[in-house]
Structure 1
């Protein structure tokens, strides 16, 4: 579909995996607000963390991001633990950058059924003023 206008800006996702001696009896997860960490997943002997739209943190080195995220994990879990072995994985083009520029205007929308996702798209974002 050459006439289809597709995004040309992307966001990365950063996942960190920490090796721990023992995990919870049951897999669980936590949502986090106000830090680098967005999601913490606890299972067996691994604690995994997800940071969405991570381009804004790309300037941080792996050691710095792991140290800060581990500090946030400890705060959420209410524990003080030494930084364990870890792995940092970046998916550079995980999703398109969702910016006001990336939303098609009503005239440019190639497939009318896409309008069902929200009429507010015609007003520079999903919180349009009807």
Structure 2
């Protein structure tokens, strides 16, 4: 819908809003457990691609990046701050039983923190099934 960011900006300004928080902004996937229950991850904190914007922010999937950039630019031009909420400590691959979507298939032992007693299992300090190994240079 052309022009919606500008109309939204005007409406927010009329309400006295000074900042917009977008959460989260990375492309994501719903966890299998939720899919089996016919549910979705409402908040979207199950990233699959840290450098790709969440497709729901775009009207045209082929222009996701450009539309996201333009949306932020329009909000800034209207004098609104834009706060991007990101998740960099876990992914949608969940635990060791989860789907292979990205990092697990590339270099599982480098990307994730594995259980020292059983390297077939993941440490789960995040409560989301896995923890990215932030001590590994290729992860950060």
| Structure with the larger helix share | 2
Say whether the fold is shared (TM-score over 0.5).
Answer: no
TM-score range, shorter-chain basis? under 0.3
Query: When you count strand as a share of all residues, which structure comes out higher?
Result: 1
Higher relative contact order (CA 8 A, sep 6+): 1
| TM-score w.r.t. length of structure 1 | 0.25
**Whose radius of gyration is greater, 1 or 2?**
1
